């Protein structure tokens, strides 16, 4: 079979295409973005007419995927960990409706917060929703588990959560493809009431979900993805979950670990296998990339009769991702060191690109806000969040998608006027529209700046759902036309822009300012493509 050099993300995408995918749905979010992008760029996917356009947010993506599953076809929905918070309503309820066509929910967690505002562990969501969870160790397993996951989803009529983390998502390795499978035919669920979660039906469905837990557990014990490796030294037993396995094996280059090891990659956690390890070994070391899920399970409240080492007792740091050195230290193996970073090295934090329109927005906004006491700019998730750093120091909050508008409204409701929201176009359509409607309904004295670069910038310039529609959306929500201002964020208009911001921020009601200029990155890319086309002609 053909071998490809793929990112973990791309392996998942290729596997989905090969496993008979009908549609992939997602909103961009690091480290999950490349899954959907791979399908968008795939010639095979195009020939097979696989849906791959971006969704407005993770919730709409999850629901659309559920709709594909409802009609009997295979769907995948992808998001970063915090995206699952947005999609949680649909996700948790999809466990009650169950799946018809195979449905895989891929969630890419970001421990150590390389590009995120928290490091929540999505396995807890899977456990909460009571669905099977797959957590591959490497790129090949990621590929294989997508095939398995679709089958499992259809056999058990349940959505399956596929959880990966940054280091697998964004690491490349060789992957061997499997035979290609056709897409499913349209086929409605045999019980047409299955998806109607009226209390009377939902109660039955929920009982069914509870009964199915035993089947999910049986699959975990027997699928072959969870593996038990015997070891001669029973003073310690080791459990790894997901990519922690790689870091363990990095410390045993000959491949021989002296202790028994249980490699967990499928949940519910395999009870019999864990019992065997616990019975055989004096103490247990749990290596998990993420929160201490298995560790807490083993420890219980009082850790009676069992010595468990891991993140909870300080053997492993409580936060952050694992690496080979952390695991070496946990095992009492010699650590390895290089030289220290010389003092001369200065930090180089990320920054907005030279020429970026957000820069001109902040340059103007900072002039206006200098007239007021500080702490008034509520911001959001995007490239413009970098306005928190010097030289701008322009914003005071960044919490979750859309929170700029609603937090500014809350502050204004509490009497803190003026309050300003700074949000991007893509984040606005993702989760800002409903908040703006709240503000309009009360005519809250806030000014919303929708800095429109006509793309989803931070994740690399994906299509933005509201391009060309932002004014229409605001007006339809009830923003008054005389307080909806579109400006061009360029240095030559600086004074004019300052004046407009000044007036609108002083206005005692909802005002919206839309500074609009294309992202310099997407512009550059567009110009290069145009140039290349010309050359070819």
- Contact map string, positions 271 to 310, toward another protein, x by CB under 8 A: ----------------------------------------
Q: Is 2 in the site for another protein (CB under 8 A)?
A: no
Residue 387 CB, shortest distance to another protein, in Å, is 12
* Cα separations in angstroms, 110 against 7, 42, 82, 203, 510: 16, 26, 9, 35, 36
Q: CB atoms < 10 A from the CB of 203, how many?
A: 12
316 or 419: CB nearest another protein = 316
Considering only residues 344, 370, 414, 537, which one is a binding residue for another protein as defined by CB under 8 A? 344
Q: Which helix (H) or strand (E) element contains residue 145?
A: helix 139-156
Q: Could you give the strand order of the β-sheet that contains 21-26, starting from the edge strand earlier in sequence?
A: 21-26, 74-80, 103-109, 160-165, 133-134, 266-267
Per the CB < 8 A criterion, the answer to whether 376 and 419 are in contact is: yes
458 binds another protein (CB under 8 A): yes
- Residue 424 near residue 369 (C-beta atoms within 8 A): no
Q: Is 371 helix (H, G, I), strand (E, B) or coil?
A: coil
Told to check if 37 binds another protein by CB under 8 A, we report: no
Report how far apart, in Å, the C-alpha atoms of 178 and of each of 143, 487, 511 are.
9, 53, 55
* 339 binds another protein per the rule CB under 8 A: yes
- Which residue's CB is nearer to another protein, number 348 or number 492? 348
Alpha helices in 181-334 (DSSP H): 199-222, 244-250, 271-280, 293-299, 324-330
Token digits for 344?
């001369």
Q: Are 395 and 387 in contact (CB under 8 A)?
A: yes
Helix ranges (H only) for 285-444 are: 293-299, 324-330, 357-369, 403-413, 425-427, 433-442
Applying CB under 8 A, does 405 fall inside the site for another protein? no
156 is a contact residue toward another protein (CB under 8 A): no
- CB nearer to another protein: give 38 or 70: 38
How many angstroms separate the CA atoms of 317 and 111, rounded?
A: 12
Nearest approach, Cβ of residue 115 and another protein (Å): 3
Question: Minimal distance in Å, beta carbon 385 to another protein?
Answer: 9
Nearer to another protein, 81 or 299 (CB): 81
- Contacts for 172 with CB less than 8 Å, ≥ 6 apart: 5, 6, 7, 10, 139
How far apart are CB 247 and another protein at their closest, in Å? 5
Using the rule CB under 8 A, is 353 a contact of another protein?
yes
Which listed residue (56, 173, 366, 467) binds another protein by CB under 8 A?
173
- Count of residues in contact with another protein, rule CB under 8 A: 51
| Tokens matching residue 171 | 């690491």
* Nearest distance, CB of residue 175 and another protein, angstroms: 11
Contact pick of 45, 99, 217, 243 for another protein (by CB under 8 A): 243
| Shortest spacing between CB 490 and another protein, in angstroms | 20
- Residue closer to another protein by CB (options 198, 345) is 345
Residue 486: C-alpha distances to residues 75, 176, 452, 510 (Å): 39, 51, 10, 15
CB of 86 to another protein, least distance (A): 18
Is 106 a binding residue for another protein by CB under 8 A? The answer is no
Q: How far is the CB of 141 from another protein (least distance, A)?
A: 13
Look up tokens 């649909």; give the residue. 90
Name the residue nearer to another protein (CB basis): 80 or 376. Answer: 80
Q: What is the contact surface with another protein in residues (CB under 8 A)?
A: 3, 5, 7, 30-31, 33-34, 114-115, 167-168, 170-174, 243, 245-247, 249-250, 323-325, 328, 335-342, 344-353, 383, 386, 390-391, 458-460
């Amino acid at each position: 079979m053909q071998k490809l050099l793929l990112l973990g993300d791309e392996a998942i995408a290729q596997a989905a295409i090969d496993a008979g995918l009908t549609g992939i749905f997602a909103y961009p979010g690091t480290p999950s973005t490349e899954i959907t992008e791979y399908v968008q760029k795939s010639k095979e996917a195009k020939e097979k007419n696989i849906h791959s356009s971006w969704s407005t947010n993770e919730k709409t993506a999850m629901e659309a995927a559920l709709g594909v599953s409802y009609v009997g076809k295979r769907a995948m929905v992808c998001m970063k960990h915090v995206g699952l918070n947005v999609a949680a309503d649909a996700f948790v309820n999809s466990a009650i409706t169950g799946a018809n066509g195979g449905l895989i929910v891929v969630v890419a967690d970001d421990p150590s917060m390389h590009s995120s505002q928290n490091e929540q562990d999505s396995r807890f969501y899977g456990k909460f929703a009571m669905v099977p969870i797959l957590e591959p160790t490497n790129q090949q397993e990621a590929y294989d588990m997508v095939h398995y996951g679709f089958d499992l989803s259809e056999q058990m009529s349940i959505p399956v959560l596929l959880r990966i983390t940054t280091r697998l998502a964004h690491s490349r390795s060789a992957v061997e493809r499997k035979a290609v499978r056709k897409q499913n035919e349209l086929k409605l669920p045999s019980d047409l009431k299955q998806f109607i979660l009226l209390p009377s039906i939902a109660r039955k469905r929920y009982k069914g979900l509870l009964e199915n837990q035993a089947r999910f557990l049986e699959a975990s014990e027997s699928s072959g993805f969870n593996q038990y490796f015997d070891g001669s030294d029973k003073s310690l037993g080791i459990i790894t979950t997901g990519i922690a396995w790689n870091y363990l094996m990095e410390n045993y280059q000959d491949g021989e670990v002296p202790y028994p090891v249980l490699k967990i990659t499928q949940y519910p956690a395999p009870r019999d296998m864990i019992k065997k390890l616990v019975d055989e070994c004096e103490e247990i070391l749990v290596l998990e990339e993420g929160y201490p899920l298995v560790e807490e399970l083993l420890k219980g409240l009082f850790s009676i009769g069992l010595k468990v080492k891991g993140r909870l007792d300080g053997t492993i740091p409580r936060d952050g991702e694992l690496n080979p050195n952390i695991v070496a230290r946990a095992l009492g193996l010699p650590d390895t060191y290089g030289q220290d970073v010389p003092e001369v090295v200065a930090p180089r934090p990320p920054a907005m690109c030279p020429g970026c329109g957000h820069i001109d927005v902040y340059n103007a906004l900072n002039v206006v806000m200098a007239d007021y006491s500080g702490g008034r700019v509520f911001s959001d998730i995007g490239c413009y969040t970098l306005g928190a750093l010097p030289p701008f120091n322009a914003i005071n909050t960044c919490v979750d998608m859309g929170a700029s508008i609603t937090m500014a409204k809350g502050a204004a409701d509490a009497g803190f006027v003026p309050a300003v929201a700074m949000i991007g176009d893509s984040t606005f359509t993702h989760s800002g529209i409903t908040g703006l409607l709240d503000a309009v309904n009360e005519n809250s004295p806030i000014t919303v700046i929708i800095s429109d670069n006509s793309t989803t910038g931070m994740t690399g310039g994906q299509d933005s759902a509201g391009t060309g529609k932002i004014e229409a959306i605001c007006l339809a929500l009830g923003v008054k036309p005389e307080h909806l201002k579109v400006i061009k964020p360029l240095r030559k208009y600086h004074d004019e822009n300052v004046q407009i911001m000044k007036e609108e921020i002083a206005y005692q009601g909802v005002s919206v300012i839309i500074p609009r200029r294309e992202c310099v990155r997407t512009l550059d890319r567009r110009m290069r493509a145009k140039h290349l086309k010309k050359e070819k002609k």
